[in-house]
Structure 1
Amino acid sequence: MTEIIKQMVDTSGLANLSFSNLFMIFLACVFLYLGIKKQYEPYLMIPISFGILLVNLPLAGLMNPGADGSPGGILYYLYQGTNLGIYPPLIFLCLGASTDFGPLLANPKTILLGGAAQFGIFAAFFLAVVAGMTPQEAASIGIIGGADGPTAIFLTSRLAGHLLPAIALAAYSYMALVPIIQPPIIRLLTTKEERQVVMKETRKATQKEKIVFPIIVTIFISLLIPSATTLIGLLMLGNLIRECRLVPKLVDTLQNSLMYIVTILLGITVGAKADGDLFLSLDTLTIILLGLLAFGIGTAAGVLLGKVMYRISGGKINPMIGAAGVSAVPMAARVVQQVGQEENPNNYLLMHAMGPNVAGVIGSAVAAGVLLAFFG
């Protein structure tokens, strides 16, 4: 009887808990608190956090690959969708079906603001190289500046898979913190007069323009940067399905059921790769700091180009809309709207900010393609 009890104790999770297990379990609970109580990106923060929790429970074996004919853990098999880069493009497919490119088509010059906001990606890349990272690791860290979680996961899974949990959590954390990070940068770089600019209503894009746009973008970008085709192609396919207005049930499925299914699979499997040794390393702190810097620089670059456009247009463009050039859709555009309303209650910048915001989605995918072409 004593031997049976001893064996039960020795094979229990409690007897096999390490400091790194305890630390990661505590970290998972902190992230769950942020996702549930503070509502920081709950759709992804909750499954990512629970994935961290599950994989750090000793002897559960959820990420075991299996051997000698024995089955592996369920999270190991689900993780292959992340490891092989399947889930992020599927999210882009769903995102395309949820995105209206009308504001961008109505005011095409705002695509420049979406491009400017990607500057943070390349600035952080060079800083990461200086900090001693490999080009592949630096590219994965830099892409955090695009404020696009699926793109960050897609690129990191191909270039620096060992950094995937830290980069995914940093990317989604900064996306959730957009309303906190961006307003101080906007106010620092703009004057009260600039923030009060009321922009005129733009024209409405036609349905024909909306149908032709995803086709042209797919062809042009794919011929120019083939490595961006996976993300851009599925993003534009989802948008074409939306804009052709022929298959409403497909649109509804992409916008709701499939989006939520893929999101939970992506989140829980990213969390399941969270290793205690990785999170307790200096590299993780570097990733967090450089990711924040990348996001801040991207926001600043968009606002600064907005100021240039404000001058060129004779004061007709509110430079704040440049902050929406990061691809956190539609949160960044809502932040611009909120700051604009604080300065001028009669100012409605949301639709104007959506132009650079959706341009940022395209821009981050293109930036990922460029980095993948050079370092993949």
Structure 2
Amino acid sequence: MNFIEALKNLWESSGFVGITWQQLLMIAISCVLIYLAIAKEFEPLLLLPIAFGMLLANLPFAGLHKEPIYEMINGHLVTKEIGGLFYYLYKGVELDIYPPLIFLGVGAMTDFGPLLANPSSILMGAGAQFGVFFTFICALLMGFSPKEASSIGIIGGADGPTAIYLTSKLAPSLLGPIAVAAYSYMALVPMIQPPIMKALTTKEERTIKMGQLRQVKKIEKIIFPIMVTIIVTLLLPSISALIGMLMLGNLFRESGVVERLSDTAQNALINIITIFLGLTVGATAKGEIFIKKETLMIVALGMVAFAISTAAGVIIGKIMNKVTKGKINPLIGSAGVSAVPMAARVSQVVGQKEDPSNFLLMHAMGPNVAGVIGTAVAAGVLLTLFG
């Protein structure tokens, strides 16, 4: 073989020959997301691994999704050729391993004290789930099946692990666009929510200062995860893995006797699973699957779901403001979506733009953590009905 033939063979075996316009477009989109994660710091812990997974998935001939090849030798199944990296990482999604482990870490990082101090904030967390069911109906009217519509609607909860958990059970063929949409909207909370919040509230409402929350006793914080696990699991057994791991993580935190376990769940474990889950989610966004009419409809419906959830939380906040005669700042209602603690921070930022001396973060954490439970419950209802 001469030098020219060697170069020709090298070129023909390269990805440049096999790349399609869909893959080029997805690579461009992934680069934009990487830019947003690094330059704009839009939730880089989520967006960066997702975007890079998307980039890798659209490079042809890389073999990252290749399935292993087995053969039977002397009555034993032997691996003839191992699969690609993403084939094995995806098992964590397929077997419902990653989402509950993410919830374990989230539970260990979450303080339910603000919710216990102000139980009425659960109404805002529940109200924010309106977007889930509104979009479910919209998706049905647009021709999606009930299982597909359920998976699309749950994007409104702004909870990536729950969206993946539900979709993997009801509509696995839609996992790519739904997961990417859910995590992208979570990352873009600081851009999406403020215009909706300002449009639905007056300056006077946005400057309302809320009273100090009561001190929650340790015994309350210990009993809470145990009771929630019992009640929700008895009511909706289908969601026991998510709720159980969320509350176990929280019990690690509040018990005060397993600091090492709590620290591992909050840091090492959730960081490792976030890398695996982010890469896997991004890797599902392959150009030939992702770029089609159905995907665009899902992304659009996801935006509707998220916007309606935000608006519904604010509206519930406004109603509570009237009922309490001005004691509730409606801005905290937007934190009813379960993007913890991003949505609560947005409530704080928007409030302080009106009055720098106003501190809403701890008050917003009540609806925010209620939203985590609310979205899991909404998923459990949909899974029970259509699973």
**What's the offset of the Cα at 1:39?**
1.6
Aligned to 2:304: 293
> TM-score w.r.t. structure 2 length?
0.94
Instruction: Report how many aligned residue pairs link the two structures.
Output: 376
Instruction: Map 1:262-273; keep pairs closer than 5 Å.
Output: 262-273=273-284
Aligned to 1:65: 67
Deviations 1:311-351 (A, max 9, x none): 11111111221111111111111111122222223321111
Within the candidate set 103, 112, 115, 1:104 is matched to 115
Q: How far apart in 2 are the matches of 1:224 and 1:147?
A: 23
* Structure 1 residue 56 corresponds to structure 2 residue 67: no
Q: Secondary structure at the match of 1:150?
A: helix
Q: How far apart in 1 are the matches of 2:206 and 2:40?
A: 29
Instruction: Map 1:76-87; keep pairs closer than 5 Å.
Output: 76-87=87-98
Determine what percentage of the aligned residue pairs are the same residue: 61
Unaligned runs of 5+ in 2: 71-79
Moved more, 42-51 or 82-91: 42-51
Instruction: Map 1:313-324; keep pairs closer than 5 Å.
Output: 313-324=324-335
* Structure 1 residue 244 corresponds to structure 2 residue 246: no
Instruction: Map 1:227-376; keep pairs closer than 5 Å.
Output: 227-376=238-387
Across the aligned residues of Structure 1 and Structure 2, the Cα RMSD in angstroms comes to: 1.4
* Structure 1 residue 194 corresponds to structure 2 residue 196: no
* Structure 1 residue 32 corresponds to structure 2 residue 34: yes
* Structure 1 residue 183 corresponds to structure 2 residue 183: no
Give 1:321's aligned amino acid.
Answer: I
Q: Secondary structure at the match of 1:63?
A: coil
Contact 1:41 1:172 in 2 (8 A): no
Contact 2:146 2:386 in 1 (8 A): yes
**What's the offset of the Cα at 1:22?**
2.1
> TM-score w.r.t. structure 1 length?
0.97
Moved more, 248-257 or 25-34: 25-34
Give 1:330's aligned amino acid.
Answer: P
Q: Secondary structure at the match of 2:65?
A: coil
Q: How far apart in 1 are the matches of 2:282 and 2:158?
A: 19
Give 1:11's aligned amino acid.
Answer: S
Unaligned runs of 5+ in 1: none
Give 2:13's aligned amino acid.
Answer: T
**What's the offset of the Cα at 1:103?**
0.4
Aligned to 1:118: 129
When residues 178 and 55 of structure 1 are mapped into structure 2, their CA distance, relative to the original with a 3 A threshold, is closer
**What's the offset of the Cα at 1:4?**
4.3
Aligned to 1:134: 145
Deviations 1:219-241 (A, max 9, x none): 00011111121111100000001
Aligned to 1:91: 102
Q: How far apart in 1 are the matches of 2:323 and 2:26?
A: 52
Deviations 1:294-315 (A, max 9, x none): 1111111111111111111111
Moved more, 184-193 or 128-137: 184-193
Q: How far apart in 2 are the matches of 1:285 and 1:110?
A: 34
**What's the offset of the Cα at 1:21?**
2.5
Instruction: Map 1:158-177; keep pairs closer than 5 Å.
Output: 158-177=169-188
Q: How far apart in 2 are the matches of 1:138 and 1:325?
A: 22
Q: Secondary structure at the match of 2:90?
A: helix
Deviations 1:170-192 (A, max 9, x none): 11221122122212212221222
Deviations 1:14-47 (A, max 9, x none): 2222222222222222222222222222112111
